[in-house]
Copies of this chain bind each other. A is one copy, B any other.
Amino acid sequence: MRIVIQLFNRREMKMRKQDVSPAVIKRLPRYYRYLENLMEEGTERVSSEQLSGIMKITASQMRQDLNQFGGFGHQGYGYNVTRLHDEIGKILNINRVNNLIIIGAGNFGKCLATYSGFQNYGFHISAIFDKDPDVVGTDINGLTVLPMEKMEEVVREHNIHIAALCIPKSDVQEVADKLIEIGVKGLWNFAAVDLNVPDDVVVENTFLSESLMCLCYGIGENGEH
């Protein structure tokens, strides 16, 4: 009977997606990565002290993070490494194949299309698009670059939820609007422009120049910290 009550409470503790802070979400892939390392080393069980120690956060911070999704540890036992890894995978929705498309077959789009690291996490690049007729039809890593007009067809056929935007700033809002219209829910934006999107669309900005500026801030005025 006690167990049932506990499970019920755990469920109750689980927070609604929109209440989880971006900082906690950003830590989830890190937990996942460290748990993967532990699995590779053959570790079956880990205490919150051990795991948080490797991750250089406090054990209390870690418990607080994981409690937002309903816990997963047992008092005195700690965490089952494989189970926690799989649970975090489920929370991140990477426990399945996620098809994505790339818009823009320029330098950066090509780079993403040939990056192999995504496959390990179930990400699959279904197609790459470009508006330049000279680029359309060329081959990138086994994918034929498609014209923008084909976007809708591919999104519907391959059940695409994610698009990476590797296009110039001037085009990005218009293309984002079109993608949203045809059902894309997640935009990975590499053009340094803040997109206007409806509430049910998620944007992840990866602005390389801005990362470099933050680094430059950190190294200080004379290149010294």
Q: Within 8 Å of chain B (Cβ to Cβ): is A94?
A: yes
Q: Within 8 Å of chain B (Cβ to Cβ): is A202?
A: yes
* Interchain CB contact under 8 A, A206 and B209: no
Bound: A33/B43 CA distance, A: 46
Copies in the complex: 2
Stretch from A60-68, A114-122, A146-154, A170-178 at the B interface: A114-122
* Interchain CB contact under 8 A, A216 and B98: yes
For A, the interface residue count at a CB cutoff of 8 angstroms equals: 61
* Interchain CB contact under 8 A, A94 and B216: yes
Stretch from A1-9, A74-82, A131-139, A217-225 at the B interface: A217-225
* Interchain CB contact under 8 A, B209 and A118: yes
Instruction: Say yes or no: A215-B192 contact (C-beta < 8 A), given A108-B111, A111-B108, A115-B108.
Output: no
Tell me, rounded to whole Å, the shortest Cβ–Cβ distance linking A123 to chain B: 6
Identify which of B91, B188, B214, B224 contacts A217 (C-beta below 8 A). Answer: B91
Q: List 20 A-B contacts (CB under 8 A).
A: A25-B218, A29-B213, A33-B210, A92-B214, A93-B216, A100-B212, A107-B115, A111-B111, A112-B208, A121-B212, A121-B213, A161-B219, A161-B223, A162-B212, A162-B215, A185-B219, A202-B215, A202-B218, A204-B211, A204-B218
